[in-house]
Amino acid sequence: MARLKKTQKYYNDNPEAKKKKKEYDTKYHSTSERKAYRGALVKARRDAGVYGKGGKDMSHAKDGTIVPEDKSKNRARNGANKKSTKK
């Protein structure tokens, strides 16, 4: 079993903070901008014929295009060092 990282330990120890973050995330991800952002990525996966079949994520590149990228690289971006590794 994987060890818990610092953030998860903090939220496990502070249920009020965990609740506050969940409320914020729910509000943030329900905005029209976030819905449009996710929608663009879903559309790109559908157009590429890979939606619902696993495989690579679609990622926004620095030049604004949408490109396929490994899930691990796409989702790990802006991790501990806060430096973008965007293509």
Confidence of residue 16 (pLDDT cuts 50, 70, 90): very high
Single out the residue of 64, 65, 66, 68 nearest to residue 50, CA to CA. 68
Residue pLDDT, tens place only, 24-42? 999 999 999 999 999 999 9
Q: What is the pLDDT of residue 75?
A: 81
Domain total of the chain: 1
- The answer to whether residue 72 is domain-embedded is yes
Q: Please tell me the pTM assigned to this model.
A: 0.70
Long-range interactions of 54-63: CB distance < 8 A, separation 24+: 59/86, 59/87, 60/86, 61/86, 61/87, 62/86, 62/87
Please indicate, yes or no, if residue 87 is contained in any of the structural domains: no
Q: How many CB atoms lie within 10 A of CB 66?
A: 17
Range of the domain at 51: 9-76
Q: Is residue 3 part of a domain?
A: no
Q: Does residue 30 sit within a domain?
A: yes
